[in-house]
Amino acid sequence: MLGIDPGTATTGFGVLSVENGVFDALSFGLISTNKDGKAGDRLIDINKQFSALIKKVKPDIIAIEKLFFATNAKTAMSVGQAIGVIIFTAAKNKVNIVEYAPGTIKKMVAGSGRADKKMVQQSVRKILGAKVRSKNHGKTHFDNSADALAVALCHAYHLRRGGE
């Protein structure tokens, strides 16, 4: 499964396999766009990079974090646009997508719907082990990748509990 932490500048991704109840982080990283680029060009770039990622990893399902609107409407709108491109790209590549609210992800992975980013990262590292312990993964910002892996783990836990 492919977990996605959506964003315009950086979209985190995490590829997770589950066999016999054992989780394995196959890969993780970022889809990045030029922060100084035009909005339309950035969305095209997300589409191209995400489509290439889907073709490379061939996920059975894509799990994405739902948009959480806090205080910055401008940021929420741009993230919403990125989510739209991600959903479109998944549909175009014929991969089903499921969405989870941030609080649900935090509760399933870290044990509390109010867990902060650091707690989520610690839980992801504890669950997935040595592959995600290194802090040096090239240009990867681990917080985005950890959030994406947390989304994938949330879906895996949902399936384990009998969800679809």
Residue 137, pLDDT > 90, answer no
CA distance 49 to 89: 10
Q: What is the CA radius of gyration of the chain?
A: 15
Using pLDDT thresholds of 50, 70 and 90, give the confidence band for residue 136.
very low
pTM (2 d.p.): 0.90
Kindly report, residue by residue over 68-122, the tens digit of the pLDDT.
766 677 778 889 999 999 999 999 999 999 999 999 999 999 999 999 989 999 9
Q: How far is residue 10's CA from residue 19's CA, in Å, rounded to a whole number?
A: 29
Question: Above 50 in pLDDT, residue 4?
Answer: yes
Which domains are assigned to the chain? 2-160 (3.30.420.10)
Report the pLDDT value the prediction gives residue 70, as an integer from 0 to 100. 63
